[in-house]
């Protein structure tokens, strides 16, 4: 049994001292990046279960634990990818598929607009995709639906009756998944792109009416020989987003 499994199973250990150097946790957090090209190497089901068990230690309002996950591997993963790509690659069908909830505002303001543009052009720039090259952009966007070739695809769903607070809890769970994955040498890419095809996902995964697609996530070993994985995103310094009131 690994240390992580023990920690997840025995959460009430009285020892509140730091388990080691903060560098271990910080390393997992700061080396996480959205990976958009994966190796074919598979991930053991036991490892995925361990990651999910650890991640489920995330806090949630009144311990409601709103997260639900469908883990897709092998032909199950391929079936979903095929079903989505069939629609994504057909403009007629695609226009009938829209997001079920708004991730982004309809009207952008600064500084969000510039940040959003920068990551888009930085990624396309690395891949040599020009601003007018709609076909290549479409193809690159379509890579989302094969989970960037990751062997594991996660589809996160939430009970429709739950409110904004539970979505907050959900994000904490998802970050835990990504950090626990990193601690095991694995990488991830959270994927809102799946939301557009929530009806295809509901059909393919046989979701209950009350279940709503939150987003997807690719999980696997990063292929660091691929140019898209050299993308380094910026962060504003603490002074830009935090204020300290001390007297
Ligand atoms: C909820 C969520 C959804 C995202 N959806 C996508 C997506 O569909 N496709 C994609 O390539 N990246 C997606 N991203 C990745 C962001 O672009 C990325 O987190 C951001 O640019 C910061 O880069 P980093 O993750 O490498 O630090 C998503 C991130 C989050 C948190």
Instruction: Write the pLDDT tens digit of every residue in 112-167.
Output: 999 999 999 999 999 999 999 999 999 999 999 999 999 999 999 999 999 999 99
Contact 147, 70 (CB under 8 A): no
What confidence category does residue 18 fall into, taking pLDDT thresholds of 50, 70 and 90?
A: confident
What pLDDT, on the 0 to 100 scale, is given for residue 1? 43
Residue 20 has pLDDT above 90, yes or no: no
For a substitution probing ligand 1, which of 140, 150, 190 has the most ligand atoms within 8 Å of its CB? 190
Q: Can you give the pTM of this predicted structure?
A: 0.94
For 169: left if phi > 0, alpha if psi spans -120 to 50, otherwise beta; the answer is alpha
Quick check: helix, strand or coil at residue 118? Answer: helix
Short-list 212, 208, 211, 163, CA closest to 62: 163
Distance CA 141, CA 176 (A): 26
**Each residue of 157-196: pLDDT tens digit?**
999 999 999 999 999 999 999 999 999 999 999 999 999 9
What pLDDT, on the 0 to 100 scale, is given for residue 17? 77
Mean pLDDT of 212-230: 98
Mean of the per-residue pLDDT values of the chain: 95
Alpha helices in 56-154 (DSSP H): 74-88, 91-94, 112-126, 134-142
| Cα 22 to ligand 1 centroid, rounded to whole Å | 25
Q: Is 148 exposed, middle or buried (0-12, 13-18, 19+ CB in 10 A)?
A: buried
Q: Is 74 exposed, middle or buried (0-12, 13-18, 19+ CB in 10 A)?
A: exposed
List phi, psi (to 5°) of 212.
-120, 140
Residues near ligand 1 (Cβ within 6 A): 33-34, 36, 119, 144, 189-193, 215, 233
What pLDDT, on the 0 to 100 scale, is given for residue 15? 76
Q: What are 70's two structure tokens?
A: 């469908």
Distance CA 212, CA 103 (A): 14
């Amino acid at each position: 049994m690994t240390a992580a499994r023990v920690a997840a199973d025995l959460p009430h250990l009285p020892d509140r001292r730091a388990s080691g150097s903060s560098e271990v946790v910080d390393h997992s957090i700061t080396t996480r990046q959205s990976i958009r090209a994966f190796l074919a190497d598979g991930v053991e089901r036991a490892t995925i279960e361990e990651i999910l068990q650890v991640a489920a230690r995330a806090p949630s309002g009144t311990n409601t634990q709103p997260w639900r996950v469908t883990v897709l591997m092998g032909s199950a993963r391929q079936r979903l990818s095929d079903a989505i790509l069939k629609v994504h690659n057909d403009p007629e069908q695609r226009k009938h598929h829209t997001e079920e909830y708004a991730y982004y505002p309809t009207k952008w303001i600064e500084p969000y607009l510039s940040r959003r543009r920068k990551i888009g052009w930085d990624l396309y720039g690395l891949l040599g995709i020009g601003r007018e090259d709609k076909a290549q952009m479409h193809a690159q966007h379509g890579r989302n639906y094969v989970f960037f070739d990751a062997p594991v695809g996660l589809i996160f769903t939430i009970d429709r009756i739950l409110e904004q607070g539970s979505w907050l809890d959900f994000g904490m769970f998802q970050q835990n998944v990504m950090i626990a994955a990193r601690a095991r040498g694995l990488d991830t890419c959270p994927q809102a792109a799946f939301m557009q095809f929530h009806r295809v996902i509901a059909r393919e995964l046989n979701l209950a009416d009350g279940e709503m697609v939150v987003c997807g996530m690719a999980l696997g070993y990063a292929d660091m020989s691929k140019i898209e994985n050299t993308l380094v995103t910026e962060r504003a310094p603490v002074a830009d987003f935090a204020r300290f009131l001390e007297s």
